[in-house]
Structure formats: C-alpha cells, structure tokens
C-alpha cells in the first residue's frame, strides 16, 4: 500500500512536491534528475560555504527532530578550518511516539535527503556522513542504500563530487532498538559501537561529535528542506511560514481522526484547521477532547486550547511544543488515565538508566499511573505524580527525563478531576470481561 | 565462522564506513545483520565479530544488554511485533495484542512450540498514521484488525 496521502488543497507541498498523487515506488535517480534533482548541490558547489550557511540562516529553518533549534546557527558553530575531519550525521531514528514522517521522505524521495546532506556537508567541508536509521526500518535502509549506490555511480558521492575535487562519502547505519538513541549524543555513542548512554554537553557535537570530530547532526526532514532553500533562496523559504518559523513542515496526524496521514503545511497554520480541514475532523462524528501536538513528549492541550497557530513559538507560549510534528488526536471517549499510564510505561522502558532522577522517576511514574488506570489508586497519587515530575524537570542528564515529566504533569493538572471521578466509580474496580493485564515490557 | 557471500560482501563494505582505527562503529550493524542470517547472537557470532573488529566479549555483551532488537535466543521464524503505544492504543492496538495472544496461544515474548511464531509487544514503530501497526520480521502491516491478523497468520502457516 502507499503511505502517501492524496494532497489536500490547504497543504503546501515543498518537501513532498514530487507527490501530487499517491504512488508506491520511490523516486529513483533518473526521475529525480528529470524533476530538478541535484540542481541545488550544483549551485551550492559554486557558492562559498559561508553563503550556504547564510541562506539557511535567512530561511529561519528550525530543526524538525524535536527541539526546533535554528539550523543555520547550528551549522555556523562548526570550525570549517579545523584540522580534524568533519562529519555529517542524519538522525533517522524516528522513535518519538506519534511520529512517522521521516519514513515518508526516505521511502519516497531518498535522493532529496542525499542532496540535503551533501549541501550541509559542503557548508562545513565534511568528508563523510552517516544516516542513522532505526533498526525496524530495514525497508528504508534498503531504499537509502540503493539510492546512495545510484548517487555514487553518477558521481554525486565519492572521491570527487561532480568533478569538484571534493571528497564525500555517505552510508547508512542501522540502529537496533532504542528510543534513547534518537537523542543526539546517545546516537553518537551508538554510532561508535557502544550502548546509547548520552554524553555530557558541552562539548556540543559541533566541536566534538562523531568520533570526537566536529559534526552537524540533524533530523531527516531538516536536511530534506535544504535543497529548495538553496535553489529558491532563504527569503523565499522563510516567507512560507511565520517570522521566526520559516517554511513548511510535515505533520503526522494519528489517533481519533477521520483522515490520518502525513501532510505538509506552512508553519503557523492553525491547529484546528489542520485537524478539522486537512484531517477531516475527529472520527466517528465525536467531539474533540484533547490533542498531543508534537509527539508523546509534548504536553497535552485541552480542546479549548487548540485554536492556535501551530508553530514553535505559539505552541511554546501555550505551554507545549511543536516537537517532531506528531499530532495525536484524542476524542471525547478517551480515558486520560490510560493515556498517562501507557506513556509512562513507554518512558520507563526507554530510560537508559544512566541517571537516577530519570531511572527512578520514570519507574515510579509508571507504577503510580498504572495503579490509577486500574482504578486502585488513591487521591494523593495525582499530587505525587506532579511532585515526582517536578523533581525530574531539568535535573536529568539528558532531555528524556523532561520528556516523561512534562506530559505527566500536563495530564494530571488538566485532567486530574476526570481521573479522580473514574477512581471513585466502583465499576472501575472490576476489569472488563475477557481482558488480561498486558505483560510488563 | 563464515557468513553467506552476500553478508561477507556487506561486512567488508561496512567496516570501511568508519574512520581508520574506529571500525568498532560497525559493531551494532554487524551484530544485527549477522543475527538476521544466523537467527540469534550465538557464542560463535560474538567471537567472530569480536575478532574482526577487535572488540572484547565484554564490550559486545554490554551492547547486547542494551538494544532490544538483539537477542541471544532464537525467535520464531515469524517474529510478530505489535505496537501498543499511543496512536495504536487509541485505535485498537491493545485489543489486537490480546487477540494475537489468544490466536497463537502464547504470551508476550514467547514462542510457539513448533518455533514458527514468536510474539512481542513493542513501542512505537513509526507507523502511527496507519495504526494499529505491527511487523512480522521486517515487514510492516498497517491498519490491522483481528480479522486481518487471522488471515495473515493463516497464510504464514500455509507457507511452511
Ligand atoms: C529521548 C530523545 C529522543 C529523540 N529522538 C529523536 C529522533 O528519533 N529523531 C530526531 O531527529 N531527533 C530526536 N531527538 C532530538 C535530537 O536529540 C536532536 O535534537 C535532533 O536530532 C537535532 O536535529 P534537528 O536540529 O534537525 O532537529 C530526540 C531527543 C531526545 C531527548
Ligand atoms: S535522563 Fe534518562 S535517558 Fe537520559 S541519561 Fe538520564 S536515565 Fe538516561
Ligand atoms: S504508536 Fe504505534 S506505530 Fe507509533
């Protein structure tokens, strides 16, 4: 089956511009070249590296992996003249629950990613790059491997890129099952053949990244935006979005929605427009209860909080995050205690155990929220969850601790009454017939 | 120990993908690809890959304990992984998982006596917009229902 949704009139397709109708096969190199592919790297090769970084800065492109850091600024931190080799790493770990966009980019337009990486590599004078792809995505690893092979054969990669004398090699690198390896420094450890325990920052990857050399590390979607920025200019890209949030982004609609799928929208499009117009509204004619706007780590928004522009700054102002662009829709029947328990089970499972506030905190959040879900908790549990979360915030070694604490706090603060209601109703004590508890992961 | 010619070719290329002296970078990919061919990370696999990359057994054990896809025990011929994380949970992933337990007569992380199927409840598979999602080995199956699950299992059984 195709994973490409038919375009909706409100979409603005830049990254997905080759897909005005659904298809099953990726765009291989001949089609890519026929449709303007690899023109941006030709142009970039004629530019000074500083100019490339300048265009990306002008575009107001911000990282699509979760943190939303300005990409041009990140690239400018690399010392191009360092005697050490410089590297590029693509984060294709795609592990944030709700997120399923990088697979679309790799699965249908693999050369766009390669071209974006080439431009980034040129900007910092890198000699090698890796695409770190989660292990479950073997299908996409195979597609990227084939596309890399094609690009090598046509001289876009290798010891003399397009006859310019510049050497750049690229390969895929498979993960093997770990959400934490999506965190940039844990990923770099994993790339070196170790457990994915994160590194202390600073130094940041720009000074000491892959194999202790200067490195730029970005999400798949971030790199995929770069070719059009170079071709059409940073100002053009910027103008598609809002002042500090340039361009378009992919939104992954899932949950209780009529038309789930991956769509491309300008930054700043109203969240309700995305859900109701592009996604066709809440499924089964039901009412909206809440939205998780940027992946499982982003604090939940109540229905009445959703009438806002979906960009980095507006969502931060609303106390949440645009995160990875994963928008999970929850209808009026959703049991919020269950949502909380499932998310905490996830974070407890994925905590790498390196630091105590996260290892212990996520375990207790899971235990307490599971008991609440089963209807055997006490009223005090809500306050305990809130307190544990507050003690984790900002005190863990890497952001995974925050990623667990933020949604936990939001759910107990916004839906505490509802969870208490459920606790009080006697029926909640009796498990539904025919169900057995899920085995502990 | 030797692997198939295709895998040997892949390994030869892989080792060259890391900076000189840093070939340990190839460790996790080599383990996973070897596991796919051999069925599990056996003592022989550990020894062979350790020798090729000059990585000690302890360093390999450390990695094996961390990554959930790596296994010392062979799984079923068809390893079924059902996502019950948020988007799948909202659309029937847990029910699908319970149904799979009943259909196969096994629980989480168990294997059928004939070795054909093993089952695992997994975290987000990155297929949230096509939920509930599952994988059989590396093949994705989207928008699953108990009926589609039964059909899939029956067709895999016929393959034997
Ligand atoms: C626990 C955790 C998991 C993460 N997972 C991913 C991921 O799967 N993909 C991704 O691109 N970024 C992920 N990130 C964010 C990365 O650390 C990093 O910020 C990002 O890849 C940088 O690229 P960008 O600037 O293009 O967004 C994760 C962060 C944390 C803390
Ligand atoms: S916050 Fe969690 S995932 Fe991050 S280092 Fe600490 S234990 Fe590991
Ligand atoms: S939540 Fe099931 S695939 Fe993402």
- Each residue of A321-332: pLDDT tens digit? 999 999 999 999
Distance (Å, whole) CA A130 – CA A111:
14
Q: What are phi and psi of A299, to 5 degrees?
A: -60, 140
Torsion of CA A403, A409, A411, A415, to 10 degrees: -170
Residue given tokens 């697979």 in the structure block? A103
Which residues numbered 362-421 in A keep a CB inside 8 Å of some CB on B? none
A195, A189 Cβ separation under 8 angstroms: yes
Distance (Å, whole) CA A351 – CA A338:
20
Distance (Å, whole) CA A392 – CA A402:
7
Q: What is the pLDDT of residue B159?
A: 86
Q: Which of B19, B33, B69 sits opposite A177 (nearest CB)?
A: B69
Distance (Å, whole) CA A172 – CA B97:
32
Pocket test for ligand 2, best of A93, A401, A403 (most atoms within 8 A of CB): A401
Residue given tokens 């998982």 in the structure block? B97
Total count of residues recorded for chain A:
441
Distance (Å, whole) CA A425 – CA A5:
42
Q: Which of A169, A211, A343 sits opposite B86 (nearest CB)?
A: A343
A274, A253 Cβ separation under 8 angstroms: yes
Residue given tokens 């506030």 in the structure block? A357
Alpha helices by DSSP H, A269-399: 271-273, 312-317, 336-350, 356-373, 380-392
Determine whether the shortest distance from the Cβ of B144 to ligand 3 is under 6 A. Answer: no
Provide the token pair at B41.
């990370």
CA A7-A10-A16 angle, 5° bins: 40
Peptide bond into B100 cis (omega under 30): no
As to burial, measured by CB atoms within 10 angstroms (0-12 exposed, 13-18 middle, 19+ buried), residue A382 is buried
Q: What are phi and psi of A172, to 5 degrees?
A: -90, 160
Alpha carbon distances (Å) from A201 to A20, A106, A399: 43, 30, 12
Interchain contact, B101 vs A3, CB within 8 Å? no
Report how far ligand 3's centroid is from the alpha carbon of A259 (Å).
Answer: 16
Distance (Å, whole) CA B120 – CA B97:
9
Q: Which chain A residues have a beta carbon less than 8 Å from that of B45? A: none
Peptide bond into A203 cis (omega under 30): yes
| Tens digits of residue pLDDT in A374-430 | 988 898 999 999 999 999 999 999 999 999 999 999 999 999 999 999 898 845 455
Provide the token pair at B89.
């949970």
Q: Which chain B residues have a beta carbon less than 8 Å from that of A334? A: 90
Interchain contact, B87 vs A254, CB within 8 Å? yes
Q: In what order do the strands lie in the sheet with B134-136?
A: B110-111, B117-122, B78-83, B134-136, B139-141
Q: Which of A171, A213, A254 sits opposite B131 (nearest CB)?
A: A254
A209 and chain B: CB distance < 8 Å anywhere? no
Determine whether the shortest distance from the Cβ of A396 to ligand 2 is under 6 A. Answer: yes
Does an H or E element contain B79, and which? strand B78-83
Q: Model's pTM, two decimal places?
A: 0.96
A105 and chain B: CB distance < 8 Å anywhere? no
What is the full per-residue pLDDT of chain A (441 aa) written as tens digits?
A: 899 999 999 999 999 999 998 899 999 999 999 999 999 999 999 999 999 999 999 999 999 999 999 999 999 999 999 999 999 999 999 999 999 999 999 999 999 999 999 999 999 999 999 999 999 999 999 999 999 999 999 999 999 999 999 999 999 999 999 999 999 999 999 999 999 999 999 999 999 999 999 999 999 999 999 999 999 999 999 999 998 899 999 999 999 999 999 999 999 999 999 999 999 999 999 999 999 999 999 999 999 999 999 999 999 999 999 999 999 999 999 999 999 999 999 999 999 999 999 999 999 999 999 999 998 889 899 999 999 999 999 999 999 999 999 999 999 999 999 999 989 884 545 554 454 444 433
Report how far ligand 2's centroid is from the alpha carbon of A397 (Å).
Answer: 6
Q: What is the pLDDT of residue A129?
A: 98
Provide the token pair at B47.
């020894």
Interchain contact, A173 vs B19, CB within 8 Å? no
Interchain contact, B128 vs A178, CB within 8 Å? no
Q: Which chain A residues have a beta carbon less than 8 Å from that of B25? A: 173, 191-193, 211
Q: What is the pLDDT of residue A429?
A: 52
Alpha carbon distances (Å) from A194 to A20, B35, B60, B61: 42, 18, 8, 10
Give the ipTM.
0.98
Pocket test for ligand 2, best of A185, A201, A351, A389 (most atoms within 8 A of CB): A351
Q: What are the beta bridge partners of residue B52?
A: none
Report how far ligand 1's centroid is from the alpha carbon of A280 (Å).
Answer: 29
Distance (Å, whole) CA A432 – CA B47:
50
Distance (Å, whole) CA A249 – CA A184:
21
A268 Cβ neighbours under 8 A, 6+ residues apart: A241, A242, A245, A309, A310, A311, A314
Buried b (16+ CB within 10 A) or exposed e, B24-38: bbbbbbbbbbbbeeb
Ligand nearest to the CA of B86: 3
Distance (Å, whole) CA A26 – CA A47:
30
Determine whether the shortest distance from the Cβ of B134 to ligand 3 is under 6 A. Answer: no
| β-strand pairing of B134-136 with B78-83 | antiparallel
Determine whether the shortest distance from the Cβ of A348 to ligand 2 is under 6 A. Answer: no
Determine whether the shortest distance from the Cβ of A97 to ligand 3 is under 6 A. Answer: yes
Test mutation, B67, B87, B148, chain A, max A CBs within 10 A = B87
Nearest by Cα to A287 from A325, A259, A337, A329: A329
Q: What is the pLDDT of residue B77?
A: 97
Interchain contact, B123 vs A350, CB within 8 Å? yes
Interchain contact, A136 vs B69, CB within 8 Å? yes
The chain A residue lying nearest B31, using CA atoms, is A176
In this structure, of A116-125, B52-61, B151-160, the range with the lowest mean pLDDT score is B151-160
Total count of residues recorded for chain B:
160
Q: Which atom of ligand 3 is nearest to the CA of B85?
A: 1
Q: What are the beta bridge partners of residue A242?
A: A245
Interchain contact, A103 vs B125, CB within 8 Å? no
**Minimal C-alpha gap between B135 and chain A (Å):** 8
Q: Give the count of alpha carbons within 13 A of A410, CB side only.
A: 25
Q: Give the count of alpha carbons within 13 A of B59, CB side only.
A: 17
Provide the token pair at A288.
């909206």
């Amino acid at each position: 089956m195709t994973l490409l949704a038919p375009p909706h009139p409100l979409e603005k397709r830049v990254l997905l511009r080759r897909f005005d109708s659904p298809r099953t096969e990726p765009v291989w190199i001949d089609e890519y070249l026929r449709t303007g592919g690899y023109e941006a790297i030709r142009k970039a090769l004629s530019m000074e590296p500083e100019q490339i970084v300048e265009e990306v800065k002008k575009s107001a492109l911000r990282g699509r992996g979760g943190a939303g850091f300005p990409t041009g600024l990140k690239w400018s931190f690399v010392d191009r003249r360092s005697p050490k080799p410089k590297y590029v790493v693509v984060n294709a770990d795609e592990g944030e629950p709700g997120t399923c966009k990088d697979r679309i980019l790799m699965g249908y337009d693999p050369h766009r990613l390669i071209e974006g990486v080439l431009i980034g590599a040129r900007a910092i004078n890198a000699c090698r790059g890796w695409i770190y792809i989660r292990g479950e995505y073997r299908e996409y690893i195979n597609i990227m491997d084939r596309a890399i092979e094609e690009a090598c054969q046509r001289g876009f990669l290798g010891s003399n890129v397009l006859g310019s004398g510049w050497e750049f090699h690229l390969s895929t690198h498979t993960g093997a099952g770990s959400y934490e390896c999506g965190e940039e420094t844990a990923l770099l450890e994993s790339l070196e053949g170790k457990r994915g325990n994160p590194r202390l920052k600073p130094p940041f990857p720009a000074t000491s990244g892959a194999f202790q050399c200067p490195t730029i590390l970005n999400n798949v979607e971030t790199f995929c935006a770069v070719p059009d920025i170079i071709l059409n200019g940073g100002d053009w890209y910027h103008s598609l979005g809002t002042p500090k949030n340039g361009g378009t982004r992919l939104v992954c609609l899932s949950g209780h929605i009529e038309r789930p799928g991956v769509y491309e929208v300008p930054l700043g499009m109203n969240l309700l427009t995305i859900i109701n117009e592009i996604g066709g509204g809440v499924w089964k004619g039901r009412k909206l209860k809440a939205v998780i706007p940027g992946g499982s780590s982003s604090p939940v928004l109540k229905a009445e909080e959703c009438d806002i522009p979906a960009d980095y700054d507006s969502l931060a102002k609303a106390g949440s995050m645009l995160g990875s662009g994963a928008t999970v829709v929850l209808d009026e029947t959703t049991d919020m205690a269950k949502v909380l328990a499932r998310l905490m089970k996830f974070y407890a499972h994925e905590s790498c155990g390196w630091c105590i506030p996260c290892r212990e905190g996520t375990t207790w959040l899971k235990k307490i929220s599971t008991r609440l879900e089963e209807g055997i908790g006490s009223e005090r549990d809500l306050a305990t969850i809130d307190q544990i979360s507050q003690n984790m915030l900002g005190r863990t070694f890497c952001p995974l601790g925050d990623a667990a604490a933020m949604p936990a706090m939001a759910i107990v603060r916004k839906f505490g009454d509802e969870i208490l209601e459920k606790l009080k109703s006697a029926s909640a004590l009796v498990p539904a017939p025919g169900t057995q508890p899920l085995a502990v992961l | 120990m030797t692997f198939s010619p295709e895998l040997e070719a892949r390994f030869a290329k892989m080792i060259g993908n890391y900076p000189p002296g840093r070939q340990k970078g190839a460790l996790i990919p080599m383990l996973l690809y070897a596991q796919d061919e051999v069925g599990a990370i056996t003592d022989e696999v550990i020894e062979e890959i350790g020798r090729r990359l000059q990585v000690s057994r302890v360093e390999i054990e450390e990695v094996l304990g961390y990554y959930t896809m790596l296994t010392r025990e062979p799984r079923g011929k068809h390893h079924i992984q059902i996502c019950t994380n948020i988007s799948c949970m909202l659309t029937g992933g847990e029910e699908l998982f319970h149904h799979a337990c009943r259909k196969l007569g096994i629980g989480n992380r168990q294997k059928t006596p004939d070795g054909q199927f093993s089952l695992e409840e997994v975290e987000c598979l990155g297929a949230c917009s096509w939920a509930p999602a599952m994988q059989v080995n590396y093949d994705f199956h989207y928008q699953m229902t108990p009926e589609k699950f039964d059909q899939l299992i029956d067709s895999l059984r016929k393959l034997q």
